[in-house]
Amino acid sequence: MFTFRRGLLGSALLGLSGAALAFQATVVNTNITEAEVRAAQDAWGKALIQISDDFASGGLSKAKATAGAVLDAAYGYNMGVVLFKPTLTHGEQTFRTTRAGALAYFVGDDKTYPGDSGFALKGWKKYEYKNAGVFINGDIALTQGHVMLTDKSGKVTTVDKTWAFKKDDKGQLRIVLHHSSLPFQPAK
């Protein structure tokens, strides 16, 4: 006779009565929670500030190493194309669907992207976000709202931000879409 029960952390335990045979299977929930989305947004802001701080304390090579680690940990370039439209890009290099293009945007120093001066190197000291909405469906979450970045002189830059997160096979949220733009300024 088979027996079934839930173990710690939701794992499924199946046993065979009267026999020494049993196995344990891990049940993985691929649904994203709002708390996970907020944690990913918080982590992105902390990472941006860390890149700025590393640039100030250790120069470009330290900032570039941190930015590369952030891209590998937070973005889904390992899963395929990431739809990334950075705030201050234009023309033929508006969209950054590769890790190299994203790295160039954040830290500059790439001849392929001569217009990039390093958005993450601008001395950011504070990060806040205000979501206008969050939409979650299974292993995909979308957010849209404002991000407010404060530099070392206290100047606040507000950007319109849309993110899409996908939970990967290891249960980590990955940014698979990142759109950022300056708010529209109507003519006076």
pLDDT at 15: 46
Residue whose C-alpha is closest to residue 82's, from 163, 138, 143, 146: 163
Residues 159, 125 share a domain: yes
Model's pTM, two decimal places? 0.82
Q: List pLDDT tens digits, range 101-155.
A: 999 999 999 999 999 999 999 999 999 999 999 999 999 999 999 999 999 999 9
What is the chain's percent helix, strand, coil content, to nearest 5?
Answer: 30, 35, 35
Shared domain check, 113 and 38: yes
In a domain, residue 186? The reply is no
Given a contact cutoff of 8 angstroms between Cβ atoms, the answer to whether 77 and 83 are in contact is no
The Cα 73–Cα 46 span in angstroms is 13
Confidence category of residue 28, pLDDT binned at 50, 70, 90: low
* DSSP notation for 105-121: HHH---TT-TT---GGG
pLDDT, average across residues 170-186: 94
Q: Are residues 19 and 54 in the same domain?
A: no
Domain extent, residue 21, equals: 1-30
- For residue 188, tell me if it sits in a domain: no
Same domain membership, residue 21 and residue 90: no
Residue 144 φ then ψ, to 5°: -150, 140
Tell me what pLDDT residue 188 has.
86
Q: How far from 14 is each of 5, 20, 22, 185, CA to CA, in Å?
A: 7, 12, 6, 62
Q: Would you say residue 187 lies in a domain?
A: no
The CA distance from 145 to 134, in Å, is 9
Domain with residue 51: its CATH number is 3.10.450.50
Count: domains in the chain = 2
Does residue 17 share a domain with residue 43?
no
102 and 71 in a common domain: yes
